[in-house]
C-alpha cells in the first residue's frame, strides 16, 4: 500500500458492487443479519442511503480498484455515528479495513458531522476488534444486538473541542460507575464530578437540588436495555423514548451529543 490509495464517496454505480460484496459468504459471516439480501431490496435501501444527507458511505480504491467500503449511519443521539465496514472479497488481511477506517473518520465531513464514532463487532470477530483497537477505539463492553453477542467500541471525534471538559453528575442507586467514568475520560467525552451541572438520573433516583435551566436526563435501566425516557433542558431535539444497547453506550452518547452542541458554552456561570 502506498500513494495509490484513494478514498471517495459512494456513488450510484456502486450499487451492484456493494450488493455482491454484502452477499459474499465471508462478509455475511460477520454481519448482524447473515441472510442473503435480494437485489431489489438492496437497491431500494441504497437509493435511500444516497439521498439521505445524514448518511455517509465511502469506497477505498487501490490503483483505481475498489478494495474496501465503509458507511456511517446516525446512531440514537445527535453527533453519534455507527460504523460498518468491510474489505472486498479476496482483499482481507491486507490492511485495507484499517486504512479505510482511519481515512474516513478523518475526513472533514465526518469530523464536522460526528462527535462520537460507534462500532459493534461480534464477540468472536477478533480481526475486526484489532482493527478498531489499532485505530484508537475504546472497548465499551458487551452488548446484545439482533440476539447476537457483540462488543461495542467508541472513539471521540477530534474536531469537536470546547474550552472546558463536559462534566456530568450520574446519580443512581447501584453506584459502581468507576468503569464508566474511566471510559468517558479516556475517550475525552466527559468527566464525572459531584460539582457538575449536567445530571443523569438512573431508575428511581431523585434529587432535592434546584435543577431548573440545567440539562437533566433520566435513564430507565430496569429493563433489558436502558431507555432515555425524560429530558429537561437539552440543547438538541429529541423524540423520546430512546432505547440503547447498553448503559455505557447510553451515557457516552448523551455526553457526545452535549459535546456536539458545545454545551459548556451554553451553561450559566456558577
Looking up residue 81, the CATH number of its domain turns out to be 3.40.630.30
Taking residue 221's Cβ as centre, other Cβ atoms within 10 Å add up to: 18
- pLDDT grade, residue 158 (50/70/90)? confident
Domain finish residue from 156, 191, 218? 156
Total domains, the chain: 2
Q: Are 77 and 256 a contacting pair, CB within 8 Å? A: yes
Whether residue 127 sits in one domain with residue 174: no
User: Are both 15 and 128 inside the same structural domain?
Assistant: yes
Residues 197 and 228 placed together within one structural domain of the fold: yes
Residues 173 and 147 in one domain: no
Bridge partner list, 243: 227
Residue 264 has pLDDT above 90, yes or no: no
Answer whether residue 237 shows pLDDT above 70.
yes
Answer yes or no: do 90 and 145 share one domain.
Answer: yes
What distance lies between CA 77 and its chain's CA centroid?
Answer: 9
C-alpha closest to that of 220 among 239, 245, 201, 199:
201
Same domain, 128 and 28: yes
> Does residue 268 form part of some domain?
no
The answer to whether residue 173 is domain-embedded is: yes
Q: Range of 90's domain? A: 5-156
Q: Are residues 143 and 187 in the same domain?
A: no
pLDDT tens string 197-228: 999 999 888 787 888 889 999 999 877 789 99
- Residue 159 reports pLDDT greater than 90: no
Residue at which a domain ends, from 156, 191, 219: 156
Residue 252: inside a domain, yes or no? yes
How confident is the model at residue 143, as a pLDDT? 87
Cell of 89: 472479497
pTM for this predicted structure:
0.91
The residue from 127, 156, 185 where one domain ends is: 156
Q: Are 54 and 150 within one domain?
A: yes
Residue 161 within a domain: no
Amino acid at each position: 500500500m502506498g500513494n495509490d490509495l484513494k478514498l471517495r464517496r459512494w456513488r450510484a454505480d456502486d450499487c451492484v458492487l456493494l450488493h455482491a460484496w454484502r452477499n459474499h459468504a465471508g462478509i455475511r459471516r460477520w454481519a448482524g443479519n447473515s441472510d442473503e439480501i435480494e437485489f431489489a431490496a438492496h437497491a431500494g435501501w441504497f437509493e435511500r442511503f444516497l439521498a439521505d444527507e445524514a448518511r455517509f458511505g465511502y469506497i477505498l480504491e487501490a490503483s483505481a480498484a475498489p478494495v474496501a467500503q465503509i458507511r456511517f449511519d446516525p446512531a440514537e443521539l445527535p453527533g453519534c455515528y455507527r460504523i460498518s465496514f468491510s474489505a472486498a472479497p479476496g482483499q482481507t488481511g491486507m490492511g485495507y479495513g484499517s486504512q479505510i477506517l482511519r481515512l474516513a473518520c478523518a475526513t472533514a465531513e465526518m469530523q464536522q458531522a460526528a462527535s462520537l464514532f460507534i462500532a459493534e463487532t461480534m464477540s468472536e470477530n477478533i480481526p475486526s476488534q484489532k482493527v478498531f483497537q489499532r485505530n484508537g477505539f475504546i472497548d465499551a463492553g458487551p452488548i446484545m444486538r439482533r440476539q447476537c453477542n457483540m462488543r461495542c467500541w467508541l472513539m471521540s471525534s477530534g474536531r469537536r473541542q470546547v474550552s472546558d471538559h463536559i462534566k456530568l453528575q450520574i446519580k443512581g442507586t447501584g453506584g459502581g460507575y468507576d468503569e464508566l467514568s474511566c471510559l468517558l475520560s479516556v475517550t475525552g467525552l466527559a468527566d464525572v464530578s459531584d460539582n457538575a451541572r449536567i445530571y443523569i438520573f438512573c431508575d428511581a433516583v431523585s434529587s432535592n437540588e434546584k435543577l431548573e435551566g440545567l440539562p437533566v436526563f433520566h435513564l430507565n435501566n430496569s429493563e433489558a436495555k436502558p431507555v432515555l425516557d425524560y429530558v429537561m433542558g437539552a440543547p438538541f431535539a429529541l423524540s423520546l423514548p430512546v432505547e440503547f444497547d447498553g448503559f455505557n453506550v447510553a451515557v457516552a452518547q448523551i455526553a457526545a451529543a452535549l459535546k456536539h452542541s458545545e454545551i459548556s458554552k451554553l451553561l450559566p456561570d456558577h
